[in-house]
Amino acid sequence: MIRLLLLLLLIFVIWGFINRYKSRKNVTKIGLMVSCDHCGIFFPKQEALYLDQHYYCCKAHYEENRSKNS
Ligand SMILES: [Zn+2]
């Protein structure tokens, strides 16, 4: 019976470590932020539009900046 309890405790400890590792991974993912070259808003790099060496939050802002420069 004690063996079973120890096994359950071990599973809980391992589960806790896995959850902590997962949450830490998410923090580093969110940590990658870029700012829009048009409006300056900060957003995740994975959602960014990268065009002409600039980051944009949406296609509309890219188009606006492009028409302003030309
Ligand atoms: Zn923008």
Alpha-carbon distance 23 to 57, whole Å? 26
In the chain, where the domains are located: 1-31, 33-70
Q: Using one digit for the tens of pLDDT, what is the confidence trace for 19-65?
A: 888 777 665 556 689 999 999 999 999 889 998 789 999 999 999 98
Ligand 1 centroid, distance to 65 Cα (angstroms): 10
Residue 68 phi, psi (nearest 5): -70, -40
Show the tokens assigned to 46: 């994975």
Residue 65: predicted pLDDT: 86
Ligand 1 centroid, distance to 10 Cα (angstroms): 49
Whose tokens are 């509309």? That residue is 60
Ligand 1 centroid, distance to 32 Cα (angstroms): 17
Residue 15: predicted pLDDT: 94
Ligand 1 centroid, distance to 25 Cα (angstroms): 27
Burial class for 62, CB neighbours closer than 10 Å (0-12, 13-18, 19+): buried
Ligand 1 centroid, distance to 55 Cα (angstroms): 9
Cα 49 versus chain centre, distance: 15
